Structure 1
Amino acid sequence: MSAVEVWERYASNSRPRRAVNAAGASTWLNWTQYPDHGPDESVLGDLAGRRVLELGSGSGANLAHLATLGVNCKGVDLAPSRTSTAVAEWGHLPGLEFITTDAVTFLAEDNEAFDVVYSIFGAIWFTDPPILLTAIRAKLRTGGVLAFSHLPATEVGVVAGPAVSNWNYPAEKWENMLAYTGFTAIATVIAGPADGEVGTLLVRATAV
């Protein structure tokens, strides 16, 4: 089974995001796997006039929220059905574009520079980090922000599959890899909303 087929199967089991969150908002950005938990888009810094790229944009809800704030947004996802869903739901918003492609391929071929790149349980978790981080740094303006989240580290660190592997490294390893590829970074674990619930690793890096 190819990586595209894997993500298409995953997409077929995905549930639509709620129409409104606990605060009554119809769009929002959420870094963790729990509803109404964790920080918001402030992790990305000042977004006014910025060009933002999401790697692994899925159904587009997080990126759409940024577009409602007037940000120029582009989202990349490998699963065609996810892009179709995102366009159908959010394609009416100005300054928002969704593309079906692999993250590394997009970064190699696109001509834009970005001010912010982020990934929420997305491509950074599922792509060989030295390759992807180097490609991101080449497209991110100096002083730009890279932020991503995924589950905290396992003892193994890399979980390999026939078509898809994931890299859920500990905070210190991410910080070291980011330093090597042209960033300064701070990685933290956001505790789950209740005792015994797994947390979320959140990394925020600045291109130097």
Structure 2
Amino acid sequence: MTTSMTKDPIKSLDAIKAIKQLTKSNPRDHLLFVMGINSGIRLGDLLRFQVHHFQGKQVGDAIEIIESKTGKRNFLILNKEISRALRLFMDVRFRHEDDYLFASRKSRKPLTLATVGRLVQSWARSINLNGNYGGRTLRKTFGYIQRVHFGVGFEILCRRYNHSNPAVTMRYIGIQPSEVEEIMMHDI
């Protein structure tokens, strides 16, 4: 059986763009994907967000949370992508301030972790993305893209993830032995 630690990040910016396009017709799913890959927040904490957390917020504003897993303080900052997806989501229909952002269509309760895992798997399949994807893919994608495409170091990602040390973050993101071998070819 596959463990949650073996879920893959989405490594391709083209694949991310394809999933954004795919989910655009469903504003809730689109917001979930965009917020997940742009925040680095655990899925369980994302699912607890309610409409009132975002009322009156603008790009650059922070929303503080207490992580359910660790009890540590963390935050989500609204970047332009999250803000656009949030506007699209809020414009679809009137939302009460106590509504969960990521509510089930069958109830007013938040989606389950398993449901989100299935959604992520279906998005990956829809764009023919090979790998092992699930709920943790969103958070892992954040770290992978930050590291590979923006050059963010493990120490900063460790702080963002509230991990105990950078080695945990390296394992979490999935550093491959080939990456370590590649640096041995750098001439100094």
Structure of higher CA gyration radius:
2
TM-score for the superposition, normalised by structure 1: 0.24
Higher strand share: 1
TM-score for the superposition, normalised by structure 2: 0.26
Higher helix share: 2
